[in-house]
Amino acid sequence: MWENIKDFASTFFVTGDPLIYGADVSIVLSMVAIVFVLTKYKKWGWLWREWLTTVDHKRIGIMYLIASLLMLFRGGVDALLMRLQLAFPNVEFLNSDHYNAIFTTHGTIMILFMAMPMMFALFNMVVPLQLGARDVAYPFLNALSFWLFMLGAMLFNISFVIGGSPDAGWLSYPPLSQNEFSPGPGQNFYIWGIQISGIGSLATGINFIVTILKMRAPGMKLYKMPLFSWSVLSSCIMIIFAFPILTVTLALLFLDRFAGAHFFTMDGGGNPMMYLNLIWMWGHPEVYIVVVPAFGIFSEIVATFARKTIFGYKSMVWAMMVIAIASFFTWAHHFFTMGTSASVIAFFAISTMIIGIPTGVKVFNWLFTMYRGRISFQQPMLWTIAFIPCFVIGGATGVMLAVAPADYQYHNSYFLVAHFHQVLIGGVVFGYLAGIYYWWPKLFGFKLDEKLGKWGFWFWNIGFYVCFMPQYALGFMGMTRRYYTYGWDRGWADMNLVSTVGAFMMGIGFIFQVWQIAYSIKHGERDTTGDPWNGRTLEWSIPSPAPFYNFAVVPEVKEADDWWATKQAKANGTYKEQPAKLEPIHMPKNSGIPFIMANFWFLVGFGFTFGWVWMAVIGFIGVFACMWARSFQYDTDYYVPVEEVRRTEASLGRVV
Amino acid sequence: MAQHHDHGHGHDHDHHEEHEQLKVLGFWIFVVTDCVLFGTLFATYAVMMNSFAGGPTGQELFQLPGVIASTFILLTSSFTSGLAVLAMNKGNVKQLIAWLAVTGLLGLSFVVLEVTEFMHLMSEGATMATSGYWSAFYTLVGTHGLHVTLGLFWMTALIMQLKRRGISAVTRRKITNFSLYWHFLDVVWIFLFTVVYLMGVM
Amino acid sequence: MAQHQNHGGHHSHGSMKEYVIGFILSIVLTIIPLVLVMNSILSKTATMIAILVMAVLQFVIQLVFFMHIREGEKPRYNVQTLILGLVIVFTIVAGSLWIMLFNKY
């Protein structure tokens, strides 16, 4: 009996590495600490009522934000471990298996569990406020999306201490990801973690499309909608068409591993290249899914901080819509070197170059907006300015990679690694950070400290170039990605050391930002006006932090940049105050079902990961029961009485 | 609860209608994403069409009579689910439930036929692990069957709710969505029938 | 109450006649391909094209007669989504075949 338990434990828990034991201890300690604090201050009820069961888009946004920052930390630590290992030749800090696991989790976490939730955080925090809506179209579904993401992310992350991490690369190409080469649960954690959070992403896509199409304030025609909301629409269109492909691809890989199917196997009529074909049909739109909202953020920020209407509004909209569609026609450029016909390669090389055009249009529009503007260099604008050169270089190297014959040289080299980090950090991370700085006061009621933020900004920026410029060179010098070590004779030592220094500078930048948040909670400049940046769009017309119903009176929109127009009119004295008539506000009720259901999904994933079908069956029954229960719920919303609205507004310093 | 009486019934009703329309659009978008899901499975099947790896082929094993029967059963159930919607529009709950029940029985017999077919194929030595072709076959056809099965549970829940609550804005929206889903499954089957079975035996 | 009737009118899309026509056309479009395939009337390629065309026609018929795609409020976001979805589905299927089949020969 004892022997059995020991046996089980030695395979169930990851053992043997002191780093992991350290992590085990810190995980247990922090969990004990959380339970202790919650119990001591009697906060369990509060946690359940205010957060776990909430359907308020702003709170869901905050939870997404916290989760994504934690994931940024984990993914960042992975990156630093890799850079340490590569800092010098022949380092034996990580063994090859451990290194494989780390680059896999770094990639997966950064794209799926960091960029995606940070993007959803911004969707949730901003879109309904910009549209003049009280919530998203389906608040219950929104909560469900969040919890599916969260539990999927947890499932993926526990692989690090239980069962073993996936180690077949961030996209898990077969045959390496098949049972033969990746036995054990690691790969299953990958499949189910992404699968569960992917369902949530798909639902968010549908949710925000309907919100944007149907819930805009009266008078806000589509062409008067703020550009960030347009970018969210573009991103969500890609989500709803790309994520079903991911779902199928992962399901097929799982069937190969679990049921002995032959989709991507080397024998039995399977074809591993089909996996690449399918995963990149999702994967290419996916990179545009995360970057297009960043374009939307930059558009808002540039207009606000240059005090000018955005240049070429319609061309901006069209560029984003063209990107949304065109992104589905470029996927094969990710595997030019696998071998297919010349006509296929020609088509995808050209389509890849074409998609650069709308992006170029946008860059020019931002520049023209800034031209002769009275630019103020506050934090959001700093990140925006840093983004432009960074993204332009990233885009240019992307076009270099799209040249198919040349790609045979660059493919899977550090040139590629530098390219995609440049567009993903320079585009996505800079964009989201800019957005977080910009909308932070709206969510929390205070600004993030400028001085600490500037330290963070410069460390990030200089660190970025120090880290990745040498990697372009390393690519040309023949260093391919995923090497876990290299010899002195290769001549890569200097560049790698420089790159590692840069990575640590970015790490320091992140620490400054954490410090900045902690510092600003107490000392940050309070936002009493609700409009700290002299903004242009509706979200700045309401108090910060926004009350739970957002708008006491739904605004009537007349112009693009309606809030700006209102302020102008007030200044000119041409503004006509409309008598505001308060009405009871229709709001959704909180529900515990999303949280419970996501936990059952976790059981499904965990059960399949270890091949414990009974557990998966219990999970499925639970999921089903939750859906059934929800279907029979008819009492799902309520009205906020006028008195309460008036009281709340008064407490926020507004008289209605 | 007091505020509930504050504003008239008409307002409430209006709000509900608008709200329910919103959910129909969302469901429609979901159905389109499901189209993409099936499209991906079709693509996989098409690529694996000749990957028999020396094992049995579809031509050798398919038994068309059963498949033809399933096709007409599902087609008829798509029609009867439409009749259910007509009954709903007339405000006739009894008829609505009756047509839903007919649709459900047809759906159930479709699932039974499919399970029988799968058992026959497996007994002939064509399983998920036999070859790429059969992996793709079972996944594509099975995913459709799973959708039909889930639809049956959904319908059961709806019938129970109709019995309790009759036709309201909410149940109306639910039935509308359900019939949309059911027609969609029939459409998917048309392509399955054409691509998998008819082309398989050619 | 006037409002109520309005809503009633809004919802009553589809008539018995429409459903019956749709049903009959669907049956016909199922039987024709069956006959074509069982009796090998046309060449293989011609049959393939013919039965695919019938399938698409039947899809259109169900859209029009069963799903009432022509009705509904404007702008027709549902139709736009569907068309875009079909373009993507076509891309997935045709693209996969184009890319993958090169390796088969």
In percent, the amount of chain A with pLDDT more than 90 equals 86
Q: Tell me A585's DSSP state.
A: E
Option in B46, B71, B76 nearest C97 (CB): B46
Choose, out of A141, A199, A263, A623, the residue to mutate when testing the contact with B (most B CBs < 10 Å): A263
CB contact under 8 A, C85 and A328: no
Complex ipTM, two decimals?
0.94
pLDDT digits (tens, 9 = 90+) for B40-98: 999 999 999 999 999 999 999 999 999 999 999 999 999 999 999 999 999 999 999 99
Give the integer Cα–Cα distance in Å for A236 and A561: 23
H helix or E strand, kind and range, residue A473? helix A450-476
In this model, does residue B13 exceed pLDDT 80?
no
In this model, does residue B189 exceed pLDDT 70?
yes
Option in B43, B180, B191 nearest C67 (CB): B180
* Chain A residues within 8 angstroms (CB to CB) of chain C: 213, 237, 240-241, 245, 271, 273-274, 277-278, 281, 325, 328-329, 331-332, 339-341, 344
pLDDT of C10 reads: 45
Work out the average pLDDT over A40-47. 91
pLDDT of C3 reads: 35
In this model, does residue B7 exceed pLDDT 80?
no
Q: Which of A63-72, A189-198, A412-421, B50-59 has the lowest mean pLDDT?
A: B50-59
pLDDT digits (tens, 9 = 90+) for A370-399: 999 899 999 999 999 999 999 999 999 999
CB contact under 8 A, B13 and C26: no
Instruction: Using pLDDT thresholds of 50, 70 and 90, give the confidence band for residue A535.
Output: very high
In this model, does residue A205 exceed pLDDT 70?
yes
Work out the average pLDDT over A2-30. 84
Option in B25, B42, B71 nearest C77 (CB): B25
Residue of B nearest to C11 (CA): B89
In this model, does residue A269 exceed pLDDT 70?
yes
CB-based contact, B22 to chain C, within 8 Å:
no
Work out the average pLDDT over C54-63. 94
Instruction: Using pLDDT thresholds of 50, 70 and 90, give the confidence band for residue C7.
Output: very low
Instruction: Find chains touching chain B: ≥3 CB pairs under 8 Å.
Output: A, C
In percent, the amount of chain A with pLDDT more than 70 equals 100
CB contact under 8 A, C66 and B78: yes
H helix or E strand, kind and range, residue A220? none
Dihedral angle, C-alpha A175, A179, A181, A187, nearest 10 °: 90
In this model, does residue B10 exceed pLDDT 50?
no
Give the integer Cα–Cα distance in Å for A549 and A551: 6
pLDDT digits (tens, 9 = 90+) for A140-151: 999 999 999 999
In this model, does residue B181 exceed pLDDT 80?
yes
In this model, does residue C2 exceed pLDDT 70?
no
Instruction: Using pLDDT thresholds of 50, 70 and 90, give the confidence band for residue C15.
Output: confident
pLDDT of C13 reads: 61
pLDDT digits (tens, 9 = 90+) for B148-168: 999 999 999 999 999 999 999
Give the highest mean pLDDT range of A273-287, A563-577, A642-656: A273-287
Which are the contacts of A261, defined by CB distance < 8 A and separation ≥ 6? Answer: A252, A255, A270, B128, B129, B135, B138, B139
Instruction: Find chains touching chain A: ≥3 CB pairs under 8 Å.
Output: B, C
Give the integer Cα–Cα distance in Å for C62 and A444: 51
CB contact under 8 A, C102 and A340: yes
Q: Which of A11-25, B46-60, C86-100 has the lowest mean pLDDT?
A: A11-25
pLDDT of A20 reads: 81
CB-based contact, C96 to chain B, within 8 Å:
yes
In percent, the amount of chain C with pLDDT more than 70 equals 85
Query: What average pLDDT does chain B have?
Result: 91
Option in A245, A268, A641 nearest B40 (CB): A245
CB contact under 8 A, C88 and B39: yes
Work out the average pLDDT over A400-414. 93
More confident residue, A576 or C104: A576
More confident residue, A184 or A213: A213
CB contact under 8 A, C100 and A277: yes
Q: Residue C48 has which token pair?
A: 């393939």
Closest to B60 (Cα-Cα) out of B8, B5, B133: B133
Give the integer Cα–Cα distance in Å for A164 and A20: 10
CB-based contact, B3 to chain C, within 8 Å:
no
